[in-house]
Amino acid sequence: MLETFNSLLLGFSVALQPQILMYAFIGCLIGTLVGMLPGVGPLAGISMLLPATFGLNPIVAIVLLSGVYYGAMYGGSTTSILIRLPGEAASVMTCIDGYAMTQQGRAGPALAIAAIGSFVAGTLGVLGLMLLAPTLATFALRFGPPEYTALLLMGLLVLAYMTGGSIPKTLAMAGFGLMLGMIGIDAMSGYTRFSFEVIELADGIGIVPVAVGLFGISEILLTASQHSLKLPKNPSLRELMPSRTELKQSIGPIARGSAVGFLIGIIPGSAHIISSFISYGIERRISKTPERFGNGAIEGVAGPESANNAAATGAFIPMMALGIPTSPVTAVMIAAIMVHGIAPGPMLIAQQPELFWGFVASMYVGNVVLLILNLPMVGLFVSLLRIPYAYLYPCILAFCILGCYSVSNSVVDVWIMLAMGGVGYVLRKFGFDLAPVALGLVLAPMLELSLRQSLAMSAGSYAIFIERPIAVVMLGLGALMLLISLKPLLFKSQKKDWRSTVGLDEPS
- For another protein, the binding residues (CB under 8 A) are 51-52, 54-55, 166, 168-169, 171-172, 175-176, 178-179, 182, 186, 188-189, 191, 193-194, 217, 220-225, 390-391, 393-395, 397-399, 401-402, 405-406, 409, 411, 414-415, 418, 421-422, 425, 427, 429-432, 447-448, 451-452, 455-456, 459-461, 489
Least distance between another protein and beta carbon 189 (Å): 5
Q: Which is nearer to another protein, 115 or 441 (CB)?
A: 441
Least distance between another protein and beta carbon 186 (Å): 4
Q: Which is nearer to another protein, 10 or 486 (CB)?
A: 486
DSSP string, 137-186: HHHHTT--HHHHHHHHHHHHHHHHHHH-S-HHHHHHHHHHHHHHTT-EE-
Contact between 264 and 275 (Cβ < 8 Å): yes
Compute the distance between CA of residue 223 and CA of residue 389 in angstroms, rounded to an integer: 9
10 Å CB burial of residue 46 (0-12, 13-18, 19+) is buried
Least distance between another protein and beta carbon 406 (Å): 5
Contact between 70 and 312 (Cβ < 8 Å): yes
Q: Which is nearer to another protein, 208 or 447 (CB)?
A: 447
Q: Which is nearer to another protein, 227 or 238 (CB)?
A: 227
Least distance between another protein and beta carbon 229 (Å): 16
237, 253, 287: which is closest to 112 by C-alpha?
237
Q: Which is nearer to another protein, 31 or 242 (CB)?
A: 31
Q: Which is nearer to another protein, 347 or 489 (CB)?
A: 489
Compute the distance between CA of residue 11 and CA of residue 7 in angstroms, rounded to an integer: 6
Rounded to 5°, the CA angle 92-499-163 comes to 60
Least distance between another protein and beta carbon 194 (Å): 6
Q: Which is nearer to another protein, 376 or 422 (CB)?
A: 422
DSSP string, 236-302: PTGGGPPPHHHHHHHHHHHHHHHHHHHHHHHSSSSHHHHHHHHHHHHHHHH-S-GGGTTTT-THHHH
CA distances (Å), origin 63, targets 25, 337, 428 = 9, 11, 33
Sign of CA dihedral 308, 309, 315, 319: positive
Least distance between another protein and beta carbon 450 (Å): 11
Least distance between another protein and beta carbon 324 (Å): 18
356, 346, 343: which is closest to 138 by C-alpha?
346
Least distance between another protein and beta carbon 84 (Å): 20
Compute the distance between CA of residue 133 and CA of residue 118 in angstroms, rounded to an integer: 21
Q: Which is nearer to another protein, 165 or 252 (CB)?
A: 165
